[in-house]
Structure 1
Amino acid sequence: MSTIKKIRKTASYAFLCAGSIALLASCNNDDMIAETRTNTITIENVLDAKPLVESGTFMGKGTPPVIFPGQSISIEFYAAAGQALSFATMYGWSNDLFFAPENPGINLYSSDGTPLTGDVSTQIKLWDNGTRINQSPGMQVTHPGAAELAPNNISEINGKDAQGNSYLPASQLMKATLAYQGDSRFKLTIENKSGGTPNETPFSPGVWTVSYAPGGDILDKMPIYTKGQHAANGLTNIAEMGDNTVMDRYLHGMTGIFTPLSPVLVVVYKGDENPFYKTGEKDRSEGLSNLAQTGNADILASKLATKPGVKKVYVLKQSTSTVLLPRIGNAEGGKVMQQLDIEKGDRIAIATMYGLSNDWFYATKGNGIDATRKGDVSDELSLYDNGTKKDQYPGANIRIDLSGMPLGESEPIQEVPNPNVFSTLPQIVKVTLN
């Protein structure tokens, strides 16, 4: 073999060896050859739900802080259609009588969703707490008076009590007037008009509350008292002594946040930006507003499926209720899961509506989550205002104004601060990758 042929053969052999080494090296380089793997995403509603939207106290302005004949007080509160206002205050010159609306409370909206206003006094009743023997009502009543040998159940007084004492209807002693102030905010004015009647009496400091009504069904229909059952949770303190502190503490513990989450949009994609929103920009009219306003993720999912870089789109629904309910009592909150086929460099973005809002949605921040991460990634989410509907008290929001016009607006998408102007929100959404 000539020297030239030997050199060519040696060079060819060296090139082949070098190519093989390079090929082997590339096979071990994840940046060159994509390796498909699986990761399971789990989204949960971990909110410990409370049944009451708001609660509070009221009292007179004098010393003692009772509401004397001719005086009035006002309560301001938020409420959505289907919700009701309840309250309780002592018939001061009695042993254990109290005023309260018939459960579940004062109606606040008509059947067409229009806020109710005006005189609602006929919804107020007079009740016997059942713990004291009733004396003839008046300034001469001895407090607390003789206890019943065994507490009786709460009962409505219709003209006479169990001892034969007479009473005018509650609506002739107390005037209750509703005013609507816009944006789901009401004011109830309670006026003591018992002066000059046979049942003249002051009203004691009292308590009030509004209950959530998701889907129009009030969660706590008897928040203060239950007709036909014994008084509980501090009601006796109000009915016998006009002391509202114990009941106020109880109601405060029942007041807070309640919201379902809508079916969850999950997107697997490659790229440098979230494919469906950016803070500071207005809604892109691709379906995010439908998700943020009504919980419908299907429109946005269809649009995303056609975008470059988007590999897979899912809409995850709870099998039993579609939405992800919060934890209620001993029941766990809603949860959805999805196995994802991913590669290094993939990102995950999710979005779900804060159900009892006008247009708030939870979503992954910035450019989503590294799809290869493991464990709790809830810190990658935040709550955003879509900017397409006017903000109102979450859980006590309405969809239209008094003229029947939608509460629309056109503002850039922004993160909702916490605390916000309405409340302080606990953790609601938990996201895990495994």
Structure 2
Amino acid sequence: MKKIFFKITAFATGIIAAFTLLSCNDSDNNMMDNSLQRTITFENIVTPKDFVESGSFQGTGAVPVILPGQSVFIKFSAGKAQALMFATMYGASKDWFFASQQPGIKLFDTSGKAITGDVSSSVLLWDNGTKDNTGQPESKPITQVPNVNAPQLMKLNLDYNEMTSEFTLTITNTSGGTANETPFSPGVWAVSNYNGSQLLNSAPFFTPNSLSNPEITDIAQMGNIDKMKAKLSSNTGIMTGLSPALVVIYRGDKNPVYELGKMDNGMGLKEIAQFGNVSKLQNSLKSFPGIKGIYVAGNAPVPPGNKVMISFKADPGDKITYVTMFGFSNDWFYANETNIDAAIKGDLSSKTALFDSGTGVDQYPGAGNRQALFGGTPQSETMVISKVGTQYPVPAVQNVIKVTVN
């Protein structure tokens, strides 16, 4: 798989550029001879996919085409750097298809405000270059069809739900009565993943002025979306960066970072879960009862394929806890689910879980305009801390983060 380069820029506007690695261990000067020294490593092992969401659409009649006068709807989530790409066959042709310019329909203006209403000017009509007007095979680059007004044949309308950052695109066949009356075939759509600095795929489906590919050719010639659906499905998935990880050595049965089923206590977990900023919780825990040491692994976001680590000291009987932001979320964090002896060695990934801090309204991971990934601030909510459920197809914890102690 191609290597994806993630610039070391904050996926959160609130994340600070450098962290002071400090320990508030008052007993360091009196450390006993049997103290332990360990290194904990946090590795981002998620597999980046080109698309955060994708799907298909078709007519609702006995035949799945979209006839003149009929409409279909596409619901999808997106942040201000993302765009929607779709494709459907111009049915009364040998190899023409509707789609927008790459990377897709623009969804937000330069100020970050969602674009709504009539966006029909975004649709273009393309000649796939694989058949001539008589239906004979040819091999030419994909180009725009001249002298046909695509927005006259297809109306596009966008609605937007700001709380969920979800769009609804209505596609209406308005070709009836024109010189280019045509049905539309079933179609496909996709929203490219964004890594904090760029789209992972800025030319989905096809490349203008280049030869076509088998997937778009099947749509353009036959209205068959099976190949493109399969290709999109295999390359669609939620991914994330991780924030620097806060590691705490403590005594007692109470986890000082969070309590499941309780409200956020205002000590700084919210700042980690929303922006990846560990400073407030780091400072708050200095005076927390039973704290033996506080450490920070890393000083910048941790993209897929990267890892951070930190060494720590602990006495027999100490416990360890850790927390890092699920970066492409509104307010989620990874942490150990159960108490862990600080003397432990090995893989702690199975002891790690994904939690919702209950401080910000959730949006689709990696496609929510209020997420720090897009420079946003979550809409406030007041809920108890809970494990993240199955509302979104988030990869299993062990497919995103690997935590080991040596």
TM over 0.5: yes
SS in 1 for 2:196: helix
Aligned to 1:421: 391
- 2:87 & 2:247 partners in 1: Cα distance? 47
Q: Supply the AA of the counterpart residue of 1:118.
A: G
2:302 is aligned with 1:324:
yes
Give the whole-Å Cα distance in 2 for the aligned partners of 1:405 and 1:339: 33
Amino acid aligned to 1:336: V
Query: Superposition pairs for residues 37-52 of structure 1, below 5 Å?
Result: 37-52=36-51
How many residues in Structure 1 have an aligned counterpart in Structure 2?
Answer: 368
Query: What are the Cα deviations for residues 327-359 of structure 1, in whole angstroms up to 9, with x where unaligned?
Result: xxxxxx110111222221121111011111110
Letter in 2 for 1:59: Q
Deviation of 1:122 after TM superposition, in Å, equals 0.5
Show the counterpart of 1:157.
145
In structure 2, how many angstroms separate the alpha carbons of the residues matched to 1:249 and 1:287? 43
Q: Report if the CA contact (8 A) 1:268-1:311 is conserved.
A: yes
Confirm or deny: 8 A CA contact 2:361 2:378 kept in the other structure.
no
Partner of 2:366: 395
2:350 equivalent among 355, 372, 379: 379
Point out the more displaced range, 274-283 or 247-256.
274-283
Q: Please, which of 294, 300, 307 is the counterpart of residue 313 of structure 1?
A: 294
Runs (5+) with no aligned partner, structure 2: 1-31
TM-superposed CA distance for 1:291, in Å, is 0.5
Deviation of 1:77 after TM superposition, in Å, equals 1.2
1:27 is matched with: none
Query: Are the aligned partners of 2:298 and 2:309 in contact in 1 as well (CA < 8 Å)?
Result: no
In 2 relative to 1, CA 174–286 (structure 1 residues): closer, same or farther, beyond 3 Å? Answer: same
User: Contact 1:194–1:201 at 8 Å: present in 2 too?
Assistant: yes
Superposition pairs of residues 277-288 of structure 1, within 5 angstroms: 277-288=258-269
Matched, 1:177 2:148: no
2:379, 2:220 → 1: CA distance? Answer: 42
Shift of 1:425: 2.1
Alpha carbon RMSD of aligned pairs, Å?
A: 1.7
Q: TM-score, normalised by structure 1?
A: 0.81
1:192 paired to 2:173: yes
SS of aligned partner of 2:230? helix
C-alpha deviation, 1:111, in angstroms: 2.1
The question of 1:274 aligning with 2:244 is answered: no
Asked if 1 retains the 8 angstrom alpha-carbon contact of 2:262 and 2:385, the reply is yes
Identify the residue that residue 147 of structure 1 maps to in structure 2. Answer: 137
- One-letter amino acid of the structure 2 residue matched with residue 325 of structure 1: P
Change (3 A) 1:398 1:351: same
Task: Give 1:315 deviation, angstroms.
Answer: 1.8
The equivalent residue for 2:322 is 350
Ranges of 4+ aligned residues in structure 1 off by more than 6 Å: none
Could you say what secondary structure the match of 2:92 adopts? coil
Inter-partner Cα distance in structure 1 for 2:214 and 2:166: 28
Percent of paired sites with the same residue: 47
Alpha-carbon distance between aligned partners in 1 of 2:215 and 2:119, rounded to the nearest angstrom: 26
Retained in 2: the 8 A contact 1:34–1:343? no
CA contact (8 A) 1:273 1:366 kept: no
- Say if 2:194 is the partner of 1:213: yes
Distance 1:253 1:57 in 2: 14
Larger Rg: 1
1:252 matches 2:233:
yes
Letter in 1 for 2:61: G
1:257-279, Cα deviation, whole Å (9 max, x unpaired): 11101111111222221112101
- Aligned residues of 1:80 and 1:397 also touching (Cα < 8 A): yes
The answer on whether the counterparts of 1:83 and 1:216 sit within 8 Å (CA) in structure 2 is: no
Amino acid in structure 2 at the alignment position of 1:98: F
Q: Answer yes or no: is 1:301 the counterpart of 2:300.
A: no
The residue type equivalent to 2:311 in the other structure is: Q
Partner of residue 231, structure 1: 212
Give the drift of 1:214.
3.1
| 1:370 corresponding residue in structure 2 | 341
Counterpart selection for 2:332 from 348, 360, 370: 360
AA aligned to 1:80 is G
Give the partner amino acid of 2:149. P
1:270-322 Cα distance to aligned partner (Å, 9 max, x none): 2221112101111111111000001101111111123232222122226xxx1
Deviations 1:19-39 (A, max 9, x none): xxxxxxxxxxxxxx7611221
SS at match of 1:261: coil
- TM (norm. structure 2) is 0.87
In structure 2, how many angstroms separate the alpha carbons of the residues matched to 1:34 and 1:257? 46
C-alpha distance 233-354 of structure 1, shift in aligned 2 (>3 A): farther
